[in-house]
């Protein structure tokens, strides 16, 4: 198959990983690309200098989706458990936040987002919606506490705030990684 030159467009070069192909996220991403396209068009019209069909020359946006800004000093953290705690099931979790507000997913307000719990995994790709699987739990209802059941043994936990579209903020608002032992 011959390589066909693609027009300059915001579509990512990177193949979408499986984690983005669960139906709700796939739909979300499709919507986002549309949104991004609309936003870009709006900017072009506002600039009022380029003809309609000219591709935007901006090369500053990396492949990925637009991210919401987080204010300086914003942080999330575990109220409980604490790093090094030994706990038993069901594990009681409480999430703290400073400098931003927790709102349900889908609510697009400045300096807000919802919690995500990362279990035994690293930070996800910041340019995409946070995956939803056993390692990345979304609290899209705006919860600031939760119960969790884990296998006995050592586990790492980390909090990561996501915006109304589940995308980490810029810069990302994440807690320290804590290590707990489940009895």
User: What character string, x for contact with Cu ion (CB under 5 A) and - otherwise, covers 113-132?
Assistant: --------------------
* 3-state secondary structure labels for all residues of 42-90: HHHHHHCCCCCCCCCCCCCCCCCCCCCECCCCCEEEEEECCCCCEECCC
Residue 62 CB, nearest approach to Cu ion (Å): 21
Residue 81 or 162: the one with the smaller Cβ distance to Cu ion is 162
The number of angstroms, rounded, from the C-alpha of 131 to the middle of its chain's C-alpha atoms is 8
Residue 38 CB, nearest approach to Cu ion (Å): 23
In 3D space, the residue among 121, 123, 108 whose CA is nearest the CA of residue 160 turns out to be 123
Answer yes or no: are the C-beta atoms of 101 and 80 closer than 8 Å: no
Report the site for Cu ion in 145-174 (rule: CB under 5 A).
162, 166
Residue 166 CB, nearest approach to Cu ion (Å): 3
Residue 114 or 180: the one with the smaller Cβ distance to Cu ion is 114
Residue 138 or 155: the one with the smaller Cβ distance to Cu ion is 138
Q: Which of 19, 101, 135, 138 binds Cu ion (CB under 5 A)?
A: 138
Residue 11 CB, nearest approach to Cu ion (Å): 23
The site for Cu ion, by CB under 5 A, has a size of 4
Tokens 């705006």, located at residue: 142
Alpha-carbon distance 87 to 68, whole Å?
Answer: 35
Neighbours of 16 (CB within 10 A): 12
Residue 76 CB, nearest approach to Cu ion (Å): 13
Alpha-carbon distance 23 to 105, whole Å?
Answer: 17
Answer yes or no: are the C-beta atoms of 180 and 154 closer than 8 Å: yes
Residue 166 or 169: the one with the smaller Cβ distance to Cu ion is 166
Site of interaction with Cu ion (CB under 5 A): 138, 140, 162, 166
């Amino acid at each position: 198959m011959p390589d066909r030159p693609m027009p300059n467009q915001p579509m990512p070069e990177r193949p979408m990983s499986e984690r983005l192909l669960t139906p709700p996220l796939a739909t979300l991403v499709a919507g986002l690309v549309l949104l991004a396209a609309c936003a870009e068009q709006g900017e072009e019209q506002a600039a009022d200098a380029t003809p309609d069909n000219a591709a935007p020359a901006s090369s500053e946006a990396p492949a990925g989706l637009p991210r919401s800004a987080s204010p300086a000093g914003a942080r999330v953290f575990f109220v409980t458990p604490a790093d090094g705690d030994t706990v038993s099931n069901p594990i009681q979790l409480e999430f703290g936040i400073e400098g931003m507000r927790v709102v349900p997913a889908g609510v697009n307000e400045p300096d807000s987002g919802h919690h995500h719990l990362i279990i035994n995994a690293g930070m996800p790709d910041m340019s995409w919606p946070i995956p939803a699987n056993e390692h990345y739990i979304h609290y899209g209802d705006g919860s600031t506490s939760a119960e969790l059941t884990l296998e006995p043994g050592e586990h790492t936990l980390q909090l990561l705030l996501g915006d109304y579209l589940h995308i980490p903020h810029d810069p990302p608002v994440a807690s320290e990684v804590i290590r707990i032992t489940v009895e």
